[in-house]
Amino acid sequence: MTRHLDQELTALLDGALPPARAREVEQHLAGCASCRAERDRLAHAVQLLAALPPPPAPSPDFSRGFYARLDAEPTARAGVLELLRRARWRNLVPIAGGALTLALVVGALASYRAEQARLARGLDLYQDYELVAGLDAVQDPEDVLVVGHLDELPAGARP
Amino acid sequence: MASDPDAALMLAFQNGDERAFRTLFERHGRAMVGFCHHYVKDGARAEELAQDVFLKVHRSAARYQPTARFRTWLYRIAANHCLNELRRGEYGARREAAAREGGSAPVDLDSLPGGAATPEQAAVGEALAGAVRELLARLPEKQRTAFVLCRLEGLSYEEIAEVLETSVSAVKSLLHRATVAAAEALAPWSAPDGKEARQ
Ligand SMILES: [Zn+2]
């Protein structure tokens, strides 16, 4: 009995050890009070967690709300594309320079703000690069990049 | 994975059968709310997150490969989405505040049934749930997800490895560390059957 049991105790409790290894672990436990105590401590937590009441059931509106959002999908997708276009265009503004241009842009953005706030919720859904890359809505790698870095856009430009 | 009826539905949806998608939502939507609830305290927010997850499924259906079990693919999308939600921080901050005020002092109990029979038992269940939420908030992301999937959602080590795109032995280690942390956090609570915990 040179080595005490470690993560195999948890795997044993979860029935996740191969039978041969489980028998060896049991043999060690039979002769080792310290590992038995640790096993009991872990088993205690596992039992408590198994007895935890389930999370409350969803509200009756859950399904209806989902289908409503699903029906609104094509619009949301078009909206995200629109936001992507603006985000790219905005990046070019500092290069163009000119305080007047900037003021006009800021003014235009302010009027879009309410709409952007709505779009941003849809945009959150595009956060996984992997998923974004697979969307036909996104046409080139730059779009993915822009989505991934929206939070780095100037504060005033964000919804 | 031809024996996975959900995978068959997903393939039907890929071929344009919108009803197949709706069947998948009816089957797994409510369970996803429960899963998301392990990441945010607010029930309405959990529902919204679960809806987000299915909108993602709808949008990225073309990327689903039937080599992956639908359920593990779904959990992967959900876990990523919930972790992003936590990273955004707003709920993280609120959750910590709630955890502090909750404090969840252990209550002595004779029994801890799944469905509480008395108000006292319900209160104990509430308090224990608070202690678990506090524990989850402290766990590193991967440990937290592995732990939730195993202890609260009942997935096997193999399924969790699929969700996390890692090896079973990595899952073993994640789960052990998280379970040790749970043992620490839940030590003051008495066992569900009122006796000393035995295997
Ligand atoms: Zn030992």
Q: Is residue A14 part of a domain?
A: yes
pLDDT tens digits for B146-166?
A: 999 999 999 999 999 999 999
Q: Where are the domains of chain B?
A: 1-106, 111-199
Round the CA-based radius of gyration of chain B to a whole number and report it: 18
Decide: residue A42, CB within 10 A, 0-12 exposed, 13-18 middle, 19+ buried: buried
pLDDT of A127: 47
Per the domain annotation, does A78 fall within a domain?
Answer: no
The distance of B94 to chain A (nearest Cα, Å) reads: 19
Inside any domain, residue A79: no
Residues lining ion ligand 1 (Cβ < 5 A) are A 4, 32, 35
Count CB neighbours of B182 within 10 A. 26
Q: Considering its fold, how many domains does chain A have in total?
A: 2
Q: Answer yes or no: is A72 within a domain.
A: no
Q: Report how far residue B84's alpha carbon sits from residue B63's, in angstroms, rounded to the nearest whole number.
A: 20
In a domain, A82, yes or no: no
Whether the predicted pLDDT of A32 surpasses 50: yes
Report pLDDT digits (tens) over B68-116: 899 999 999 999 999 999 888 755 565 556 665 544 444 444 444 445 5
pLDDT of residue B101: 55
pLDDT tops 50 at residue B168: yes
Residue A89: what pLDDT?
Answer: 61
pLDDT value at residue B125: 81
Fold of B1-106: Rna Polymerase Sigma Factor; Chain: A (1.10.1740)
- The answer to whether the CB atoms of B172 and A11 lie below 8 A apart is yes
Structural domain boundaries enclosing A112: 101-159
Q: Which of B51, B133, B143 to mutate to test the interface with A (most CBs of A within 10 A)?
A: B51
Q: Which pLDDT band, with edges at 50, 70 and 90, does B121 fall under?
A: confident
Task: Count Cβ atoms within 10 A of the Cβ of residue B165 and give its class: 0-12 exposed, 13-18 middle, 19 or more buried.
Answer: exposed
- DSSP state, B139? S
Predicted confidence at residue A54, as pLDDT, reads 86
Per-residue pLDDT at B132: 95
Inter-chain CB proximity A65 and B60 less than 8 Å:
no
Q: Is residue A58 part of a domain?
A: no
Average pLDDT, chain B: 86
Which residues of B, range 136-195, sit inside 8 Å of A by Cβ? Answer: 150-152, 156-157, 172-173, 175-177, 179-180, 182-183, 185-187, 189, 191-193
Q: How many helices (H) and strands (E) does chain A have?
A: 8, 0
Please tell me the predicted confidence (pLDDT) of residue B91.
52
Q: What is the pLDDT of residue B190?
A: 81
What does the angle CA B158 – CA B77 – CA B129 come to, to the nearest 5 degrees? Answer: 75
Domain B111-199 falls in which CATH fold? Arc Repressor Mutant, subunit A (1.10.10)
Tell me the percentage of chain A whose pLDDT exceeds 70.
45
Which has more pLDDT, A71 or A120?
Answer: A71
Residues 49-88 of chain B whose Cβ lies under 8 A from any Cβ of chain A: 50-52, 54-56, 58-60, 62-63, 77, 80-81, 84
What is the whole-number distance in angstroms between the Cα of residue A21 and the centre of ligand 1? 15
Contacts of B56 in chain A (CB under 8 A): 125, 128, 131
